[in-house]
C-alpha cells in the first residue's frame, strides 16, 4: 500500500467544508477514508478560566497547534493509530476525551486555515477551497452557533465583526490561490462533488 493521500478542504466559516467532506466520506468505507478536523487541534486552554478563553482569536493561525496535527498525520502515514483530541466549542477548549483513528488510504483534513500553513499544504495531494458568499455564511453561522455551540446572537455578531471577518480576509481568502479546485456553494455543487469523488476513486484503484 502506498503512503495515504491527504486532501485539504478549506473555506470560510460555515462555507460548507464539513458538509462537503461528509458527502465525500459517504462514497467510501471507513477503512478507506477518514476526516480529520483542524479544529480538533485548537490549543488546549483548560489552564485558563472561561472569561479568558472568550478573549482568544479563534480565527488566527496561532490559535491552532498545527504542529501537533502534522505529527499525527505523519504517524498515520507511517501506519500507526493516533488518539485525536476532541474539541468543545461550548467551553472553548479541548475536552478530556480523544478518539482513535486507524490508518486509512485517504485522509481529508478540513478547516478554515488548512491551506495557510505551508508544511500542511505540502503534505496535500489535492487542495480544495469551498467558496460561499459572506452573507450566506454569516446567516448559517448565526443559526449553527445558536443551536449547536451555545452562543447568543450578540456574541456571534461581535465575534464576526471583531475576528471572523477580518481574519477571513487576512488569512483564509488569500489561500484560495493554493487551491487545485474551487467549489462554489459546497454540497449544492453536484458537478464539483462528482469530480472529487471520481478522482478519489481512481486514486484508490491505482493504489490497490
Rounded distance between C-alpha atoms, residue 174 and residue 125, angstroms = 19
Q: Is 64 in the site for ligand C5P (CB under 6 A)?
A: no
**C-beta closer to ligand C5P: residue 75 or 88:** 88
Rounded distance between C-alpha atoms, residue 74 and residue 183, angstroms = 27
**Residues of this chain that bind ligand ADP (CB under 6 A):** 11, 13-19, 140, 144, 185-188
In angstroms, give the least distance from the CB of 39 to ligand ADP.
9
Look at residues 41, 180, 29 and name the one whose alpha carbon lies nearest to residue 106: 29
* Residues 156 and 54: beta-carbon distance below 8 Å: no
Q: Is 28 in the site for ligand C5P (CB under 6 A)?
A: no
Binding residues for ATP: 11-18
Look at residues 202, 172, 166, 124 and name the one whose alpha carbon lies nearest to residue 17: 172
Binder to ligand C5P among 108, 124, 164, 196 (CB under 6 A)?
A: 164
92 binds, among ligand ADP, ligand C5P, none (CB under 5 to 8 A by kind): ligand C5P
* Residues 77 and 61: beta-carbon distance below 8 Å: no
Tell me the C-alpha to C-alpha distance, in Å, between residue 47 and each of 59, 94, 108: 20, 11, 30
Binder to ligand C5P among 5, 6, 9, 13 (CB under 6 A)?
A: 13
**C-beta closer to ligand ADP: residue 23 or 203:** 23
The residue with its CB nearest to ligand C5P is 13
In angstroms, give the least distance from the CB of 166 to ligand C5P.
11
What's the distance, Cα to Cα, between the start and end of the chain in Å?
7
**C-beta closer to ligand C5P: residue 157 or 203:** 157
- CB count within 10 Å of CB 153 equals 10
In angstroms, give the least distance from the CB of 80 to ligand ADP.
27
CB-based contacts of 145-150 (< 8 A; 24+ apart in sequence): 148/89, 149/89, 149/90, 150/89, 150/90
In angstroms, give the least distance from the CB of 87 to ligand ADP.
13
19 binds, among ligand ADP, ligand C5P, none (CB under 5 to 8 A by kind): ligand ADP
Q: Which residues bind ligand C5P (CB under 6 A)?
A: 13-14, 17, 39, 42, 58-59, 89, 92, 112, 164
Amino acid at each position: 500500500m502506498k503512503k495515504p493521500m491527504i486532501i485539504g478542504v478549506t473555506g470560510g466559516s460555515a462555507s460548507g467544508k464539513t458538509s462537503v467532506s461528509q458527502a465525500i466520506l459517504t462514497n467510501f468505507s471507513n477503512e478507506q477514508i477518514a476526516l480529520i478536523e483542524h479544529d480538533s487541534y485548537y490549543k488546549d486552554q483548560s489552564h485558563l478560566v472561561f472569561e479568558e478563553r472568550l478573549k482568544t482569536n479563534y480565527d488566527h493561525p496561532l490559535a491552532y497547534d498545527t504542529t501537533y496535527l502534522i505529527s499525527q498525520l505523519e504517524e498515520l502515514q507511517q501506519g500507526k493509530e493516533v488518539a485525536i483530541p476532541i474539541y468543545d466549542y461550548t467551553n472553548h477548549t479541548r475536552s478530556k476525551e480523544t478518539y482513535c483513528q486507524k490508518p486509512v488510504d485517504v485522509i481529508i483534513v478540513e478547516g478554515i486555515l488548512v491551506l495557510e500553513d505551508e508544511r500542511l499544504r505540502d503534505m496535500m495531494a489535492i487542495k480544495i477551497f469551498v467558496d460561499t458568499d459572506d452573507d450566506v455564511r454569516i446567516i448559517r453561522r448565526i443559526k449553527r452557533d445558536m443551536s449547536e455551540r451555545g452562543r447568543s446572537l450578540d456574541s456571534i455578531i461581535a465575534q464576526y465583526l471583531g475576528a471572523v471577518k477580518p481574519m477571513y480576509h487576512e488569512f483564509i481568502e488569500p489561500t484560495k490561490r493554493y487551491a487545485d479546485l474551487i467549489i462554489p456553494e459546497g454540497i449544492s455543487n453536484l458537478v464539483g462533488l462528482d469530480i472529487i469523488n471520481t478522482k478519489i476513486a481512481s486514486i484508490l484503484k491505482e493504489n490497490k
